[in-house]
Amino acid sequence: MPDEARPFSNGYRYHLTDEAILKYMQWSIATRLTWLEEANRFLAAALSPQARKVREAFRRGTL
């Protein structure tokens, strides 16, 4: 079932074009890891303490 046809219940979803996926696949592993590390640093700085708790509970599977 395509994402657009699924009912939205909780969490989140997003759509990437085939072109965006292909472009990402062309990145080197080092570039992908750098991007991931930068995104994690940004989130660590931008999230409120409460949002961090929710994020960690989600990661642990307790949410």
pLDDT digits (tens, 9 = 90+) for 8-58: 566 667 889 999 999 999 999 999 999 999 999 999 899 999 999 998 888
Q: Is the pTM of this model over 0.85?
A: no
As a dihedral over the C-alpha atoms of residue 28, residue 31, residue 37, residue 41, rounded to 10 degrees, the angle is -160
Domain extent for 44: 3-60
Exposure letters 20-38 (e unless 16+ CB within 10 A, then b): eeeeeeeeeeeeeeeeeee
Phi, psi of 8, rounded to the nearest 5 degrees: -85, 120
Q: What is the domain count for the chain? A: 1
